[in-house]
Copies of this chain bind each other. A is one copy, B any other.
Amino acid sequence: MVPYKDMDDDAVFRALADASRRQMLDRLHARNGQTLGELCQGLAMTRQAVAKHVAILEEANLVSSERQGREKLHFINPVPINAIAQRWISKFERQHLNALADLKETLEGKGRN
């Protein structure tokens, strides 16, 4: 509803704070549309614990899901991560920004030669 505010950031940052949840995002990134059962594999915890993590990822809008028959498919949503990277992290990222600026300047300089 409300456009991106700091509260949304908070949910995303907190969702990303747990290594198991980051691993789930990794695995969804490797193969999108996995079921809850598939996400459970390789994680040393019960299915219910995984379901809770997934719920937190969904609340942060990092994962969306779709019920298909008796299965629930999960899809990663890169938008909130993008938003954080662009609006928050890039503030602290002088090196990257400067490197990009330098690259642009260098190449534009070449263009004018």
Binding site for B on A (CB under 8 A): 6, 9-10, 13-14, 16-17, 19, 22, 25-26, 29, 76, 78, 81-82, 84-86, 88-96, 100, 103-104, 107-108, 110-111, 113
In the complex, the chain B residue whose C-beta lies closest to that of A30 is B91
A interface, over-half SS:
helix
Q: A16-B13, A19-B10, A22-B13 are in contact. Are A93 and B107 (CB under 8 A)?
A: no
Whether B110 contacts A92 by the Cβ 8 Å rule is: no
Contact B111 A93 (CB under 8 A): no
**A17 touching B16 by the CB < 8 A rule?**
yes
Interface CB pairs A-B, < 8 A, 25: A13-B17, A13-B22, A14-B17, A22-B88, A26-B91, A78-B94, A78-B95, A81-B89, A81-B93, A82-B92, A82-B93, A82-B96, A84-B89, A85-B89, A85-B90, A86-B96, A100-B100, A100-B103, A103-B104, A103-B107, A107-B107, A107-B108, A107-B110, A110-B111, A111-B113
